[in-house]
Amino acid sequence: MAEARDVVRIPDAKVALSTASVYPESTATAFEIAARLGYDGVEVMVWTDPVSQDIEALRRLSDYHRIPILAVHAPCLLITQRVWSTDPWTKLQRARTAAEKLGAGTVVVHPPFRWQRQYARDFVDGIWRMANETDVRFAVENMYPWRYRDREMLAYAPDWDVTKEDYRHFTIDLSHASTARTDTLRMIDRMGDRLGHVHLADGRGSAKDEHLVPGRGDQPCAEVLEGLAGSGFDGHVVIEVNTRRAMSSAEREADLAEALAFTRLHLASAGSALRVPRR
């Protein structure tokens, strides 16, 4: 009679490092660290670092370190309003071109700021239009209300809760969900099979977007990872944490190693109870 034994299923999801996770160090440093620690790839945050804006420079880094670029984060932040043009649609077109040329499967995009009125009015239809023109996923990321003391300002349009609109693909950011003080698991349920991308970071519900190392806050990071692996999620899990307070490069690297170990452990644990017969 065959005896059952435990095996660990290898999850399909790749684990990438966001280049934003090494700030204030450079994009080039992120590639070096990701390769040394054993990440499956990187997500390039396009921002004020000139290398992050240069497709050929990014290709050379990817080739040199033998680590693929899995996603491109379009320059949607306040500090990147003039990166790759001041026109938001031009930014997205350039992000798509970069993704296509670099072999990245996903462009991450934030919903518009409310003061970008025309862009906000056209955003949902425009994202669908762009998604229909490429195999690259445009994964729209959940954001959060801005808070000051007891006052709340809705800074994003159509809404910070992207599940209120019809998008083909979503990015769930757990730190943003924490700052929004919303139920992360319910948000993921609303995203359903349109969830194509994950920004993994922790939080404690602060008004500031914390991006803590997973396991250091109160977000259900482990539960989310186990659920993704159990559901056969084949998108990317991107470590996007804040290491600005690291006292040294070694401390920063230790944080990123801890984040990777946490992620791999909980992605694998969903399959650890799978039992196959031993012959």
Provide the 3-class DSSP secondary structure of residue 40.
coil
Residue 252 has pLDDT above 50, yes or no: yes
Q: Please tell me whether residue 119 adopts helix, strand or coil conformation.
A: helix
- Using CA atoms, how far apart are residues 270 and 4, in angstroms rounded to an integer? 18
Residue type, 78: L
Chain Cα centroid distance, residue 131:
18
pTM of the model: 0.91
Partnered with residue 73 across adjacent β-strands are 45, 108
Q: Is the pLDDT of residue 2 over 50?
A: no
pLDDT band at 142 (very low <50, low <70, confident <90, very high): very high
**CA distance linking residue 99 with residue 97, whole number of Å:** 5
* Neighbour tally for 5: CB within 10 Å: 9
Residues 107-115, mean pLDDT to the nearest whole number? 97
Angle at 64 between CA 82 and CA 33, to 5 degrees: 70
165-202: pLDDT as tens digits? 999 999 999 999 999 999 999 999 999 999 999 999 99
Q: What is the pLDDT of residues 26-53, one digit of tens each?
A: 999 999 999 999 999 999 999 999 999 9
Q: Residues of 157-177 as b/e, b for ≥16 C-beta within 10 angstroms?
A: bebbbbbeeebebbbbbbbbb
Helix (H) or strand (E) holding 6: strand 3-6
Question: Does residue 13 carry a pLDDT above 90?
Answer: no
